Amino acid sequence: MTPPEPEQPESPRREAPHGHAEAGEPDAPRARRPPTPFGLPREQRILRRGHFLHVQGHGRKVHTRHLVILLMPSDAQRFGVTVGKRVGKAHERNRVKRLLRELFRRNKSLFPALCDIGVVARAGAERLDYDALREELLRARAMLARIDGGPPAPKRDPKERRAR
């Protein structure tokens, strides 16, 4: 004969319908996370694939070594990013997307004000860090300013050799 088990105090966790334990009161509504000061609000993002494809098909393009920047006039400044499988494995693509979104969030002045901005990462972008991506955008700023109707980029001396 086995001794009776001691009575356990009632746990604040309850059994969910699917068999896993859930924390909280049985009738308490689920709390939504409060917005953080980081990240982009929904109204500043291109959320739908169709909208991104519209920007890609009808907008202006600025090419850099690791990025293609797509710009289309809009009623607000919105940002979208896509990174294809050529760029690397999932964790590398996710890192590139996080870096580009953070770059946009911190440096909105680098981008035209009333434009939908799409960024397509090219192969090799996974090797860049935040500063290298920022430098690439700064080099493309002259082209961005021309598209936005801002001051033209300074003219280069045709005899000056480009360093690659």
Q: Are 68 and 83 in contact (CB under 8 A)?
A: no
Residues 71 and 110: their CA atoms lie apart, in Å, by: 13
pTM higher than the cut 0.75: no
In this prediction, residue 125 carries a pLDDT of 92
Give the pLDDT score at 132.
93
- Owner of token pair 């009808």: 58
Map out the domains of the chain as residue ranges: 44-148
Closest to 71 (Cα-Cα) out of 134, 157, 137: 137
Q: In what order do the strands lie in the sheet with 60-63?
A: 60-63, 67-73, 115-121, 78-83
Any idea which fold 44-148 has?
Ribosomal Protein S5; domain 2 (3.30.230)
- How confident is the model at residue 151, as a pLDDT? 45
pLDDT of residue 60: 86
pLDDT averaged per 10 residues, the chain (length 164)? 65 56 55 66 87 90 90 90 92 93 87 88 92 87 63 52 52
